[in-house]
């Protein structure tokens, strides 16, 4: 019987570098309040946000991913040809095909390597990081460039008081590879299809194309529902992650959660 060759990777995986890209345009709360009945103080008190960045018209999720990725590769003291795969986590690559990741790889000078996108909302970077770590551990890649990039500003209804001050644009990247110590623990995965109305695109693109004079698609969020769900589920996910990593809660020195608002960020450590 013919045997299929086995692959083996490395046991210890971590971050080799980080890189980031922020658009130049700074949008203040006062500018946001030109379209809604609110104030800088109200927004800051509830979200912790004073300013955010909006991308230029000629910038995209892919172009920002390229810049963040280029910086991450340089910060790792690597050449683009040292990268074995690219994963881009994004919801705002506005082309159904091709995906952003191969475009990023080619722009960086690494055409031909595996590249794919992940579209799972706020959890996208976490999913991508888990996949990249498993690729390195499994031996299918030595170094993986992981990028989270979003151009959310065109998807926001600037008159929607429920979310227009929360979302913005930018990109962050890391290079994942072998490290002396374990830097990325077991990934805790999950999803909740029962909550699909909590954060959603309200009109699909085909429906909009068939009725171009009607309302255009926007990102909608039920803020209260999201906060209540996250208040319970983030704590559970954190406990599962600590258990999987065999790390006692008392040994945790730094906790960096997803940070939608200051209220959420301050709540989760107590949970």
For the chain, the DSSP string reads -PPPPP----S-EEEEEEEEE--SEEEEHHHHTTTSS--HHHHHHHH--SEEEE--TT--HHHHHHHHHHHHHHHTT--GGG--EEEEE-S----SSS-HHHHHHHHHT-TTS-EEEE--GGGHHHHHHHHHHHHHHHTS-S-EEEEEEEE-GGG--TT-TTTTTT--EEEEEEEEEE-SS--S-PPPP---GGGTTTEEESS-HHHHHHSTTSPPP-EEE-HHHHHHHHHHHHHHHHHHHHHHHT--GGG--------S-HHHHHHTTT-
Q: What percent of the chain has pLDDT over 70?
A: 99
| pLDDT at residue number 85 | 99
| pLDDT at residue number 162 | 86
Average pLDDT over residues 36-44: 95
| Number of other CB atoms surrounding residue 230 within 10 Å | 20
Q: CA 215, CA 217: separation in Å to the nearest integer?
A: 7
All domains of the chain, ordered by start, with CATH?
13-178 (3.40.47.10), 193-209+219-267 (3.40.47.10)
Question: Which has the minimum average pLDDT: 36-40, 194-198, 247-251?
Answer: 194-198
| pLDDT at residue number 268 | 66
| pLDDT at residue number 136 | 97
- Tens-digit pLDDT profile for residues 84-135: 999 999 999 999 899 999 999 999 999 999 999 999 999 999 999 999 999 9
| pLDDT at residue number 51 | 97
């Amino acid at each position: 019987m013919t045997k299929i060759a086995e692959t083996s990777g490395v046991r210890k995986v971590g971050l080799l570098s980080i890189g980031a890209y922020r658009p130049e345009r700074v949008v203040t709360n006062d500018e946001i309040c030109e379209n809604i009945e609110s104030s800088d103080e109200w927004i800051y008190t509830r979200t912790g946000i004073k300013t955010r960045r909006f991308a230029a018209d000629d910038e995209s999720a892919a172009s920002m991913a390229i810049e963040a990725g280029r910086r991450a590769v340089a910060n790792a003291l690597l050449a683009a040809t040292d990268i074995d795969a690219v994963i881009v986590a994004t919801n705002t690559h506005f082309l159904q095909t091709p995906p952003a990741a191969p475009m990023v790889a080619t722009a960086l000078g690494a055409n031909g390597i595996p590249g794919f996108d992940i579209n799972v909302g706020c959890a996208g970077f976490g999913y991508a990081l888990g996949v990249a770590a498993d690729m390195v551990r499994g031996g299918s890649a030595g170094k993986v460039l992981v990028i989270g990039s979003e151009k959310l500003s065109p998807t926001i209804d600037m008159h929607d008081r429920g979310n227009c001050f929360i979302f913005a644009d930018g990109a962050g990247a890391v290079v994942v590879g072998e490290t002396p110590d374990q830097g990325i623990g077991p990934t805790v995965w999950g999803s909740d299809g029962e909550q699909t109305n909590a954060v959603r695109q309200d009109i699909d693109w085909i429906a909009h194309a068939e009725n171009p004079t009607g309302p255009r698609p926007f990102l909608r969020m039920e803020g209260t529902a999201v906060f209540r769900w996250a208040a319970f589920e983030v704590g559970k996910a954190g406990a599962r992650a600590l258990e999987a990593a065999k790390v006692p809660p008392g040994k945790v020195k730094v906790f960096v959660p997803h940070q939608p608002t200051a209220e959420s960020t301050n709540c989760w450590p107590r949970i």
